[in-house]
Structure 1
C-alpha cells in the first residue's frame, strides 16, 4: 500500500511538472482572484490557481456556462486588474525595467514583451524585445531569454490611470498550439 501511494505521489509530481511552463516572476504579475473567478468561472479559476504557468488553450478548453463575456482569455489569460490593484508599478518614459521569466518547461516558439492597452487589447508600444526562436527545445536557452530588460517608451498619457495598460510577456509555441502570457499592471 505504501509503495502504491509513493508511486501515485511521484506520478502526480511528474504531471504537475510537465503541465507547468512559464510566467513573469518579476516585476509582480497579475494573479488570479475573486474578480477573475467571477468573470471566467470556478473551473478556469481552479485551473489557473493551481498552475499559473499553464497555457491559455487549457483555459479555452474549460469554458463553460459559468464563463461570462467579461472573461477575456486573450488579454492576460483573463486575469483581472481588480484582483491586482496592489501590484501596480510606476514606470517613467525611458525607464529600463528588468524582467525575470520563471521557465519550467520549454517549447520552441516566438516571444515578445509589449505595452498593451487593456480597453482594446491592442499593442500600443512594441515589441520592446522579441525572441525568435524562443525557449527552444533543441538548443540551450540563452540566459537573456529569462533575464532581460526593456525600455519603457513615452506613452503620451495613454497609461496614466491604473488598469489602462499592461506590460505583457507573450510566448507562442505554434508547433504544440500553446500560448503563455503574463501581465504587469503599470502607470506612466
Structure 2
C-alpha cells in the first residue's frame, strides 16, 4: 500500500495542530529556553518548544536520563525562571491584571488562576478566579474564560524577589487525563 507524500504531510499537519490546546497569551508567560533544556532534557525541550500548548502528561511520558531532579513539570511545566528574566512583571497589591488565554482545542474540565510560590509549588493566593466547567466541548465557551482580569492581593513581601512567585493559569481535564498550565513571573 502506498500513501502519497502530500496526503501524509497533510495528516501530519492536522495531527500537530490537534495536540495543541491552550496557554496564556498575555501577559508574557514563561517560555522554553536553554536552562529548561538543561534541567528537563533535550527530548522534553523539543516537545515543549515545538508545541507550547501541550499538556504535562505529554512531558511526563518523555522523562528520560536527560531529565534532572530540578525539572518540576507540575510547576510551570518545568519552564525555568532563568530563561524568562526579561519577562518579569510588577504588580503592586490591588493591581487588576488582564489575562488572555489562547485556546486551540477545548476539553471540558476545571480551571483557575492563582499565585504560586515557586520554592514550594504551593498556592499562596487564590484561586483569584475559577471556572467549572471550563472549556467545554458541549457548549460554547464563554468569552470570560479566555479574556478576564484578576486582582492581585497583598502578598506580605512573599513575592518581592523576581522568580519567587508566579501567576499560574491551571486547567485540568480529567475525562482525558490532561493538565495544562502557563505561568507569569511577577514581583510585588
* Equivalent in the alignment of 2:10: 10
Q: Distance in 1 between matches of 2:101 and 2:68?
A: 30
Over 3 Å off, 4+ runs: none
Please, which runs of 5 or more residues in structure 1 have no aligned partner? none
Return the TM-score normalized by structure 1.
0.98
Following superposition, the deviation at residue 177 of structure 1 comes to 0.3
* Equivalent in the alignment of 2:21: 21
Following superposition, the deviation at residue 13 of structure 1 comes to 1.5
* Equivalent in the alignment of 2:122: 122
Q: Distance in 1 between matches of 2:105 and 2:40?
A: 26
Other structure's SS at 1:71 match: coil
Q: How many residues align?
A: 186
Please, which runs of 5 or more residues in structure 2 have no aligned partner? none
Q: Distance in 2 between matches of 1:12 and 1:94?
A: 46
Are 1:137 and 2:137 matched, yes or no? yes
Larger CA deviation: 10-19 vs 139-148: 10-19
Q: Distance in 1 between matches of 2:182 and 2:46?
A: 17
Query: For the aligned residues, what is the CA RMSD?
Result: 0.8
Other structure's SS at 1:144 match: helix
Following superposition, the deviation at residue 5 of structure 1 comes to 2.6
Q: Distance in 2 between matches of 1:16 and 1:143?
A: 26
Other structure's SS at 1:158 match: coil
Q: Distance in 2 between matches of 1:17 and 1:153?
A: 37
Return the TM-score normalized by structure 2.
0.98
* Equivalent in the alignment of 2:42: 42
